[in-house]
Structure 1
């Protein structure tokens, strides 16, 4: 999927991504990079609202897993089970979320999914501001086979 196709998908199916003005810099089955500007996500302190930071990380993590499952032709419903976000520093401008599947037990995940028709996988997203790590999200996702 191209970055343009992913941003169109997110804006159509997850309208909050449009309100946050999320853009897609990279969209592949191994890595997704998203950005969001400060203005639509600003808080009373002039920095990015924590909820927006968390959502940006969640969107990146969900997207990379969605794209990998799609690339492998696996029809499924992909939902979030739980998340945890660690906020390390304020974000005073455009935030970038980077999610990768390296290090994930993909083989075990697929084996469980095929056997039980449902499986969980944890995906992390690093959120960066001005070239530094500003937050980290860990999300546990559940994939449920369709059909």
Structure 2
């Protein structure tokens, strides 16, 4: 899947079209500066019986942030790719009683990943993503993503 361009509007459309749970969760793409993607979701759509954010929603948001930044980067490269999550580790540190705010920043290894993807048509990368609450880390996620060119 290739985004028509590397804009937050294109990513927002892809989330809601290709991954319907993102629409139910109320995920919004807030910003992207080429190295960091910020996405949010309202607590109301993702609340649990404790009146805090549901752990599954937090996981979905961080996983989708990693997927999203790779969609934007492959669009910048002009590549049509299939991106999947292959595994990861999660840590829940604080309950979230407010809007879910997630940031995914590209690692230093991104340039090597992009070269492998361009040269061989397939590459994997480890992305660290997190839920931020009042400047503190409420949740951390380190996910392995595999990207393969489709053409």
Common fold, TM-score beyond 0.5?
Answer: yes
Q: 1:49 aligns with which of 45, 54, 57?
A: 54
Find the partner of 2:100 among 95, 100, 104: 95
Ranges in structure 2 where 5+ consecutive residues have no aligned partner: 1-5
Given the two structures, how large is their TM-score scaled by the length of structure 1? 0.91
- 1:28 CA displacement: 4.2
In the alignment, structure 1 segments of 5+ residues that lack a partner are none
1:69 aligns with 2:56: no
Give TM-score scaled by structure 2 length: 0.89
Structure 1 SS opposite 2:51: coil
- Superposed CA deviations along residues 19-62 of structure 1, whole A, max 9, x for unmatched, are 00111110343211000111111111110000100111111111
Give the aligned partner of residue 144 of structure 1.
148
Q: What is the correspondence of 1:65-144 to structure 2 with a 5 Å cutoff? A: 65-103=70-108, 105-144=109-148
Correspondence for 2:11 among 6, 14, 35: 6
- Per-residue deviation, 1:114: 3.8
RMSD: 1.5
